[in-house]
């Protein structure tokens, strides 16, 4: 069996194949456009959501209040009194002196007062040094360097912080 294909049939087959390929290309590009539009809409929705969430964050209502600390000593008895997180300098100093007396001190005096900071007492072989700083590490480092410059066997005896407190309305 010999099959003969006419040139008209070949042209028709070629045209049909080309038309089918063009249709497939059109469908592919339409699908790509649809996916891009979906991605664009999803991104717009995400950005709108993020903006709406940023605007809805509650603002804290209140104020910051100072907090004071103080250290009092009686050199004759070796007593140390301390106060932390007091609402005023006077309250911190009064509490530190009272604490010093409660620990056996008779002539307690204020050696250090600090607001919104940390305080440290460094003991050396002969003397002591009290320093305040933004952190315990800062107060201790300053005290230790000063103690080591003039004394020996320097060590941290006391440290604490009185940081500001946020009071909600």
| One domain, residues 80 and 139 | yes
| One domain, residues 51 and 69 | no
Find the radius of gyration of the CA atoms of the chain.
Answer: 40
The burial class, CB within 10 Å (0-12 / 13-18 / 19+), for 114 is buried
The burial class, CB within 10 Å (0-12 / 13-18 / 19+), for 62 is exposed
Helix segments in 56-152, DSSP class H = 89-102, 136-150
| One domain, residues 155 and 82 | yes
| One domain, residues 107 and 137 | yes
| One domain, residues 111 and 36 | no
Of 13, 41, 57, which one is at a domain's C-terminal end?
A: 57
Place of tokens 């002969």: 126
Contact 126, 151 (CB under 8 A): yes
| One domain, residues 46 and 67 | no
167 or 132, which is more confident? 132
| One domain, residues 155 and 85 | yes
| One domain, residues 28 and 68 | no
| Structural tokens at position 105 | 């001190």
Of 42, 57, 72, which one is at a domain's C-terminal end?
A: 57
Lowest mean pLDDT among 16-20, 35-39, 46-50, 73-77: 16-20
Q: What is the mean pLDDT of the chain?
A: 83
The Cα–Cα gap between 99 and 122 comes to: 19
Of 17, 37, 57, which one is at a domain's C-terminal end?
A: 57
Say which DSSP state 87 is in.
S
Instruction: Report how many domains make up the chain.
Output: 2
| One domain, residues 108 and 35 | no
The Cα–Cα gap between 84 and 93 comes to: 10
Place of tokens 């456009």: 33
- Domain coverage including residue 86: 63-168
| One domain, residues 99 and 52 | no
Can you give the pLDDT at residue 122? 98
| One domain, residues 70 and 134 | yes
pTM of the model: 0.65
| One domain, residues 83 and 131 | yes
pLDDT single digits (tens) 109-127: 999 999 999 999 999 999 9
């Amino acid at each position: 069996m010999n099959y003969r294909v006419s040139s008209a049939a070949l042209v028709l087959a070629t045209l049909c194949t080309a038309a089918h390929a063009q249709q497939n290309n059109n469908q592919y590009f339409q699908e790509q456009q649809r996916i891009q539009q979906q991605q664009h809409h999803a991104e717009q929705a995400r950005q709108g959501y993020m903006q709406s969430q940023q605007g809805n964050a509650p603002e804290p209502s209140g104020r910051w209040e100072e907090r004071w600390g103080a250290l009092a000593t009686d050199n004759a008895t070796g007593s140390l009194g301390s106060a932390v997180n007091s609402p005023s300098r006077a309250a911190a100093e009064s509490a530190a002196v009272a604490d010093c007396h409660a620990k056996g001190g008779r002539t307690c005096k204020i050696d250090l007062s600090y607001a919104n900071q940390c305080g440290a007492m460094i003991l050396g072989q002969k003397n002591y040094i009290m320093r305040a700083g933004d952190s315990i590490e800062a107060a201790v480092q300053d005290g230790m360097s000063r103690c080591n410059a003039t004394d020996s066997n320097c060590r941290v005896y006391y440290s604490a912080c009185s940081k500001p407190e946020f009071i909600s309305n």
